[in-house]
Structure 1
Amino acid sequence: MARIGVRPPAVPAVPRPRRARRALTALLALSTAALALGGCGREETAGEGDPGTVTVVATTTWEGAFARAAGAKDVKVLVPPSTGHAPDYEPKPSDLTTVAAADFVLYAPFEPYAEQIKDAAGSQAELVEVGLDNDAAKVRAEVKRLAALFGTEDAAADWRKRFDAHYARLEKELKADWPDGKRPEVVSQVFTTWAAKLAGARTVGAFGPEAVTPEQLSRLSAHEPALVLDNAHMTTGEVLPGTDARQVDVVNYPDRDLDLLAVYEDAATALSKAMTAS
């Protein structure tokens, strides 16, 4: 089976709470020093001032990209894109001072340290849970919701227009790549179904986030899918060995430039390559 991808994974999305708790213990011990450096929080009300001037701290590039799409200009990311597993990240004293100056702290529920970071820093920032899903409809809704919090509705509306045009172009191009002009059938990891929708594919089976069991392997292989869409951040290797399905590694996290549109472009490139391969 050929495996097709566009770039190495940035940050997987499976928590490892024990190690995260150990990191938090050290982090809390440093909070006093960080407060001395960064102050005890912002006195002004979050979101006041010109639109787009709010300071947003995001735990990873995924939340950061949502914030940027929503119109926030000052977006800082705590976990470097090179980190292999977000919950393994050990916060630094400088992260506390960064959070202490924030208006909003964006996090995902599988990241167990976000609220503790905020508390340790003494920040008055608003803690916002972000629904990380690259499904187009969910992205539009989440960007709109964040923009309402930031006071950046106009910028977010402009971004959604660009997103709609970008998405429509990719959909059209991928449809032209359908093998023999027929809608491809795919098996998708539960967090890559958005890529199947982008390709206009028919999802005949799903797996994950756990590794595929022998029973699942038999059932999924019986569908004889053309493609297997794996989650590059949580991959367990070849999903359907012994079949003719081409495996595509889908990347969910944006790069350090926080460009969410690039995630769709990269996925489309990998999907096109898989569908047009001889």
Structure 2
Amino acid sequence: MARTRVPSTSLLALTLTAGLALTTTGCGGESESTSSSTGGTGSAPVVVATTTWEGALAKAAGAKDVEVIVPQSVQHAPDYDPRPSDLAAVAGADYVLYAPFEPYAAKIKEAAGSDAELVEVNLDNDADETKAEVARLGELFGTEDAAERWTAAFDSEYATLQKGLKAKWPDGKQPTVVAQVFATWAAKMAGADVAGTFGPEAVTARQLSDLSRKKPRLVVDNAHMTTGTVLPDSGAEQVEIVNYPGTDLDLLAVYRDAAKTVETAMAAS
């Protein structure tokens, strides 16, 4: 995934205005940052997450005070240019969660002068990867019990979604699909036969030929990195999978929405 370098002049400006941001945050200023804070008290960790994806993982792991920096409207997180209010949020955090393809997290923490622990998060909606990350964060936050409760609820919900999708297989047969590399989790949840993958770069002519020969029923694309119609004139139904949770930081909703999207596509294919 391409990295976007944050200009040093922008970071300098952020540093110089951090003090102003700290004094004006509580004065009615508008912010695009998303918070699911319930007023964390005592030893409850204060978590700042770069995007709703990291934020949802933190919430699933048991964090109660979570603030998100990058607005959901930003389709590609590495393109985001941090603002002074972001420094204010980081300055008071216990943990700052980020993904390795987001190049600005460490620089934000440094510019804010925060003592927060910088935590690299694995963003992968594969069921096993998600559960492993929630368990890891729960142990880090000291909220293992909450993380275990969420995992139990996830397992139940995921099994239900899998069963429902299998019941909707076209003609009762396992569908053949090709999937964008960061959307294969949705095809796996549907029990599909993943005959090939593509991306994150644009599909080349050779790839187009190879993937078309697979005769897929569905093309499972990544809505955040789409390059348009992947297999034009192939007859395959293309679906766009959304990886990032909404502002409510409900990670389970990502799986429900993906299941609904795939189910609709299977019915139309």
Residue 30 (1) aligns with residue 21 (2): no
Return the letter of the residue paired with 1:85: H
Which residue pairs with 2:240 in the alignment?
Answer: 249
Give the alignment's TM-score, normalised by structure 2: 0.90
Q: Percent identity, please.
A: 65
Kept after mapping to 2: 8 A contact 1:70/1:144 = yes
2:196 is the counterpart of 1:229: no
2:140 maps to which of 111, 130, 149: 149
Task: Name whichever of 85-94 and 167-176 sits farther off.
Answer: 85-94
Given residue 194 of structure 1, which amino acid in structure 2 is its aligned partner? Answer: W
Q: Which runs of 5+ in 1 are unaligned?
A: 1-13, 40-46
Name structure 2 gaps, 5 residues minimum. Answer: 24-39
In structure 1, give the amino acid aligned to 2:195. V
Please, which of 251, 254, 264 is the counterpart of residue 260 of structure 1?
Answer: 251
1:17 maps to which residue? 4
Distance in 1 between residues matched to 2:2 and 2:49, nearest whole Å: 17
Post-superposition shift, 1:49?
Answer: 4.2
What stretches of structure 1 move > 3 A for 4+ residues in a row?
35-39, 47-50
Letter in 2 for 1:17: T
Match of 2:116 among 107, 125, 134: 125
CA contact (8 A) 2:180 2:222 kept: yes
Deviation at 1:228, TM superposition (A): 0.4
SS across alignment from 2:265: helix
Q: Deviations over 1:9-34 (max 9, x none)?
A: xxxxx44424xx22x53123331442
> How far apart in 2 are the matches of 1:193 and 1:242?
22
Question: Distance in 1 between the 2:20 and 2:239 partners?
Answer: 49
Count of aligned pairs between the two proteins:
253
Question: What corresponds to 1:277 in structure 2?
Answer: 268
Say whether the 8 Å CA contact 1:56–1:67 is kept in structure 2.
Answer: yes
Higher relative contact order (CA 8 A, sep 6+): 1
The CA distance in 1 between the partners of 2:56 and 2:9, in whole Å, is 29
Residue 217 (structure 1) aligned to one of 208, 213, 220:
208
* AA of the residue aligned to 1:80: P
1:116-174 per-residue CA deviation (whole Å, 9 max, x = no partner) reads 00000000000000000000000000000001110000000000011001100000000
